[in-house]
């Protein structure tokens, strides 16, 4: 299989030089130009952290998928690398994962082809493929490793996540059987020849018709399955995204290859969090990153030549009740340069208190005391402009989640 990334890298060099950078993230991973969605291939390999991502280098719209690539020594300062994968005779390069195989960095990914008109999800072919690299930068495609889905009529079959355990390689794949989301389970001795073991888990009623971007791992003495179900209905303050991303905590029967769980829980109640993937960081930490955008949402930066970013890396921990807690990795504390103390702002039930803080890149740590307060709502405002009501409101009123409301969004020209 040919992996010619030359044109993509030349285009990025040209387009990034013309990029309009207003509202461009300063700490989050974003492509040099063009479109970005799912994080792929997150790993720590030969002393470097690697993050790949779904990428269309030729425009700020979704298009034929490539794999973009960045590396870092500390998960904070990321360096752009050449595009790792470009479409070939396997189709475009959909999501997947990366593993260390000796000194080799191996990418497992989905090859995607439209069999009818582009965008017709009922007529497509999805296969699982392998690419390898000896230097961690330049990749050679090794071909198709799983040519067919478990069922002949199954067209949604994608996003392999691979790990090594008990001397074997293991893979979970997102699938759709009829109107039910499923996780397929495979095993291999060599990353090239895979045996289908069966359906590891499947959606209970109300948990979606397609489970995208699965991730399966051990956390403490339990097993965790992360996936992105499509088609879940809103329930109060739950499931308010167009599509969801969350986790299930349970147990794995290794003999049967079956995962049993109690419930699905959202990982993040914000509206820009999808396709979360994890990797093992130094110190035995389980770290997660996700796509900081959402299908079908408004994406105003498209007009400026880029779209999408990845979340900051978060360390995951499991408490005694089976709840996942997330904390930004400690390395991010190195970004703190100047501290603003607002502890003197203690006025109660005021319409608004001004902090006097200005800046484009800030870390906000806030604590609110409701003792004696009668206010119906509380929170704080960011990006406050000169035009009335131009602001981003962080509404802390509902204790179950934080709601970000963009009121009268207007970019400065």
- DSSP single-letter state for residue 283: T
Under the banding of pLDDT at 50, 70 and 90, the label for residue 413 is very low
Query: For residue 83, is pLDDT > 90?
Result: yes
Place of tokens 């009829």: 178
Q: Where along the chain do the CATH 2.115.10.20 domains lie?
A: 6-333
Rounded to whole angstroms, the Cα distance separating 312 from 25 reads 11
pLDDT in tens, 274-286: 999 999 999 999 9
Q: What angle do CA 22, 27, 30 make, to 5 degrees?
A: 65
Residue range 189-217: average pLDDT? 96
Distances (CA, A) of 61 to 300, 302, 404: 11, 7, 24
Contact predicate 309/293, CB 8 Å: yes
**Ranges 75-79, 170-174, 236-240: which has the least confidence:** 236-240
In 3-state terms, what secondary structure has residue 271? coil
Residues 6+ apart with CB under 8 A from 199: 175, 177, 182, 183, 184, 185, 258
Residue-wise pLDDT tens digits, 140-159: 999 999 999 999 999 999 99
Q: What residues pair up with 105 in beta bridges, in sequence order?
A: 100, 133
Tokens of 124: 């497509």
Residue predicted with more confidence, 359 or 73 = 73
Rounded mean pLDDT of the chain?
89
State the Cα–Cα distance between residues 275 and 244, nearest whole angstrom: 9
Structural contact between residues 220 and 207, judged by C-beta atoms closer than 8 angstroms: no
The model's pTM is 0.90
Count CB neighbours of 41 within 10 A. Answer: 27
Q: What is the mean pLDDT of residues 107-132?
A: 94
Mean pLDDT of 299-326: 94
State percent of the chain over pLDDT 90: 67
Helix, strand, or coil (residue 333): helix
Question: What is the pLDDT, as a whole number, of residue 346?
Answer: 59
Q: How far apart are CA 50 and CA 79, in angstroms?
A: 10
Which of the two residues, 34 and 385, has the higher pLDDT score? 34
Q: Are 210 and 174 in contact (CB under 8 A)?
A: yes
Distance between CA 8 and CA 133 in Å, rounded? 19
* pLDDT at residue 267 greater than cutoff 50: yes
Residue 389 pLDDT > 70: no
- 3-class state of residue 11 by DSSP: helix
User: How far is it, in rounded angstroms, from Cα 101 to Cα 162?
Assistant: 11
Alpha-carbon gap, residue 74 to 52, rounded angstroms: 16
* Planar angle of CA 250, 253, 255, nearest 5 degrees: 165
> Strand pairing of 34-45 and 48-56?
antiparallel
Q: Which of 38, 177, 215, 293 is catalytic?
A: 38
Average pLDDT, integer, range 296-310:
91
Contact 110, 126 (CB under 8 A): yes
**Rounded CA separation 171/96 (Å):** 10
Q: What is residue 397's predicted lDDT score, i.e. its pLDDT?
A: 65
Section 197-212 average pLDDT: 94
Note the pLDDT of residue 412: 35
Please report the pLDDT score of residue 344 as a whole number.
62
Tokens of 198: 């069966």
CB contact at 8 A, 331 and 75: yes
Q: Looking at 13-17, 23-27, 342-346, which range is the least confident one?
A: 342-346
The pLDDT of residue 409 is above 50 = no
Q: Do the strands 324-328 and 379-382 form a parallel or antiparallel pair, or are they unpaired?
A: unpaired
Looking at domain 6-333, which of 3.40.50.1370, 2.30.110.10, 2.60.120.620, 2.115.10.20 is its CATH number? 2.115.10.20
Phi, psi of 402 (to 5 degrees): -105, 130
**In sequence order, what DSSP letters do the residues of 273-329 get, joined into one string?**
-EEEEEEEETTTEEEEEEESS-TTS--GGGGGTEE--BPPPEEEEE-TTS-EEEEE-
Rounded mean pLDDT of 243-270? Answer: 93
Residue 399, pLDDT > 80, answer no
Question: What is the pLDDT, as a whole number, of residue 122?
Answer: 87
Strand 306-307 and strand 34-45: the pairing is: parallel
Question: Is 319 an annotated catalytic residue?
Answer: no
């Amino acid at each position: 299989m040919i992996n010619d990334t030359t044109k993509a890298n030349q285009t990025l060099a040209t387009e990034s030089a013309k990029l309009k950078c207003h509202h461009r993230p300063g700490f989050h991973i974003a492509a040099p130009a063009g479109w970005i969605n799912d994080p792929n291939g997150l790993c720590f390999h030969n002393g470097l952290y690697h993050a790949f991502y779904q990428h269309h280098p030729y425009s700020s719209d979704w298009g034929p998928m490539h794999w973009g690539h960045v590396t870092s020594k500390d998960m904070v300062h990321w360096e752009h690398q050449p595009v790792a994968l470009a479409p070939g005779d396997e189709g475009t390069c959909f999501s997947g994962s990366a593993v260390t195989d000796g000194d080799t960095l191996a990418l497992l990914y989905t090859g995607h082809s439209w069999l009818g008109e582009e965008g017709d999800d009922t007529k497509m072919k999805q296969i699982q493929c392998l690419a390898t690299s000896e230097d961690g930068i330049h990749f050679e495609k090794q071909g198709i490793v799983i040519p067919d889905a478990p069922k002949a009529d199954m067209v949604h079959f994608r996003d392999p996540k691979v790990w090594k355990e008990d001397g074997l390689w293991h893979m979970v794949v997102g699938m759709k059987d009829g109107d039910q989301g499923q996780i397929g389970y495979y095993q291999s001795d060599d990353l090239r020849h895979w045996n289908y073991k069966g359906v590891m888990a499947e959606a209970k009623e109300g948990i979606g018709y397609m489970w995208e971007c699965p991730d399966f791992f051990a956390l403490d003495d339990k097993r965790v399955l992360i996936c992105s179900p499509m088609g879940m209905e809103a329930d109060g303050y739950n499931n308010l995204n167009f599509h969801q991303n969350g986790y299930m905590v349970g147990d794995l029967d290794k003999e049967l290859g079956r995962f049993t769980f109690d419930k699905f829980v959202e990982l993040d109640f914000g509206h820009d969090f999808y396709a979360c993937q994890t990797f093992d960081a130094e110190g035995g930490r389980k770290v997660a990153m996700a796509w900081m955008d959402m299908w079908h949402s408004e994406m105003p930066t498209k007009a400026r030549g880029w779209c999408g970013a990845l979340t900051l890396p978060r360390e995951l921990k499991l408490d005694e009740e089976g709840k996942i807690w997330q904390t930004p990795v400690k390395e991010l504390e190195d970004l703190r340069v100047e501290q603003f103390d607002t502890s003197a702002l203690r006025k109660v039930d005021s319409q608004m208190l001004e902090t006097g803080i200005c800046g484009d890149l800030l870390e906000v740590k806030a604590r609110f005391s409701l003792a004696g307060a009668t206010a119906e709502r509380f929170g704080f405002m960011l990006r406050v402009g000169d035009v009335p009501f131009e602001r981003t409101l962080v509404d802390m009123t509902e204790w179950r989640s934080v709601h970000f409301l963009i009121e009268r969004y207007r970019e400065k020209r």
